[in-house]
Structure 1
Amino acid sequence: MKVAVTYDQGEIFQHFGRTAYFKLFTIEDKTIQSSEVVDTAGNGHGALADFLKQLGVDTVICGNIGPGAQETLNKADIRFFGGVTGSVDQAVEDFLAGDLKYNPDVCCRDHDHTHEAGHSCGSADGGHCHD
């Protein structure tokens, strides 16, 4: 199994589509075998699913993630756990122990912009995503 976590100075970066780095963990028998930080090389939003698939990633842990990125991860058969905060390393340990606290209804919140997927975030209705 290979797990990718959005990464910023040891913490989970809170906007999947804009992360500059992922920390990748290679896991065998629920044990971390290796880890490395990789640069996304400017890939963002929907392009990240292909980038991660090429690296052999099958699981993503992240902060906020919009529906367009969720859809591209689903299509790439990469499962994701969004709405996670805190230490990257601790999140992976919690994931392996079955104790990861995540939000199954996560969406991109707390910022104002429009995605190429055709929805906007941070609008007047409290930051809920729109298709």
Structure 2
Amino acid sequence: MKIAIPNNENMINQHFGKSKSFIITTLEDDKIVNAEKISSVELLHQHQGLADLLVKNGVDVVIVGGIGAGALTALRQKGFKVIRGASGIYTEVIKEYINGNLEDKNVVCNHHGEHSHQ
């Protein structure tokens, strides 16, 4: 089984569509046997493109913090199981998932049209 998580260093990126990379972990016998970082810089805000990238990498489950409705729809249309509302260090979140303690929190973001001026 493969799990994809949008990341910011070793933490889950809370903005799926703004994530510049994803960690894709391979699980065997409830253990992480491989983890690789893939770039998604060229696909920022391209919901279908991000979904296709994860399909190409053989992902089964996508664990996210926040995600917009468009991205969520694109992932579900590709058959991914999506777990929303996760946060923290991605390896700890994967352990929670393996142990059956990670629940979908039904979090959908609506940030379209908003721009921060920092």
> Taking structure 2 as the reference length, what is the TM-score of the superposition?
0.87
Report the alpha carbon displacement of residue 102 of structure 1 after superposing the two structures with TM.
Answer: 3.9
Matches of 1:50 and 1:85 in 2, distance apart? 24
What residue is the counterpart of 1:16 in the other structure? 16
The unaligned stretches of length 5 or more in structure 1 are 115-120, 122-131
The unaligned stretches of length 5 or more in structure 2 are none
What residue is the counterpart of 1:90 in the other structure? 92
What residue is the counterpart of 2:32 in the other structure? 32
Amino acid of the structure 2 residue aligned with 1:106:
V
For the pair shown, which has the larger CA radius of gyration, 1 or 2? 1
Match of 2:77 among 70, 75, 78: 75
Report the alpha carbon displacement of residue 29 of structure 1 after superposing the two structures with TM.
Answer: 2.0
Matches of 1:63 and 1:100 in 2, distance apart? 12
Give the secondary structure class of the aligned counterpart of 2:35: strand
Greater helix content: 2
Which structure has more relative contact order (CA 8 Å, sep 6+)? It is 2
CA deviations over 1:71-123 (Å, ceiling 9, x no partner): 111110111111111111100011001112541x21115xx433xxxxxx7xx
Matches of 2:60 and 2:19 in 1, distance apart? 18
Percent of pairs with identical residues: 32
Computed over aligned residues only, the root mean square deviation of the Cα atoms, in angstroms, reads: 1.7
Q: After TM superposition, which residue ranges in structure 1, 4 or more long, deviate above 6 angstroms?
A: none
> Taking structure 1 as the reference length, what is the TM-score of the superposition?
0.79
Report the alpha carbon displacement of residue 5 of structure 1 after superposing the two structures with TM.
Answer: 0.6
Q: Map residues 105-116 of structure 1 onto 2, 5 A cutoff.
A: 105-108=106-109, 112-114=111-113
Report the alpha carbon displacement of residue 30 of structure 1 after superposing the two structures with TM.
Answer: 1.5
CA deviations over 1:49-72 (Å, ceiling 9, x no partner): 001000101111111011111111
State the number of aligned residues. Answer: 113
Give the secondary structure class of the aligned counterpart of 2:43: coil
